[in-house]
Structure 1
Amino acid sequence: MANQSQWQEDYWLPLLQLYLRKPVGIKPAYSRPMVLLALELNIPPKQLSEQMVTLDKRESASLQQLWKRFATHQKQLSHEVQTMREMRGFNHPEQFYEGVSKAETWQTDFRPLEVDSTLTPLHLIIILDLYFRLTPITMVSDTPEIKELASLLALKPEKVADVMCVFQLCDPYLSRLAFEVSDLFSACHDVWQRYGNLEPNVLARESALMKEYFKTAWHKN
Structure 2
Amino acid sequence: MPDSVKESRVDNAYERLKQEILSNRMPAGFQATEPEIALMLGMSRTPVREALIRLEADGLVQIIPRRGVRVLPIRFEDMREIYQILTALEPEAAASIAASKPSRETLEPLYVATEDMARAIEDGDREAWARADDRFHRDLIGLNANKRLNSMVMTLFDQAHRARMFTLPLRDMPVRSTQDHREILDEMLAGNSETVRKMFHSHRTCAAEELLTILDKFRQTQF
Judge same fold: TM > 0.5, yes or no.
no
Higher relative contact order (CA closer than 8 Å, sequence separation 6+):
2
Q: Judging by fraction of residues, say which structure has more strand.
A: 2
Larger Rg: 1
Relative to the length of structure 2, the TM-score reads: 0.23
Q: Judging by fraction of residues, say which structure has more helix.
A: 2
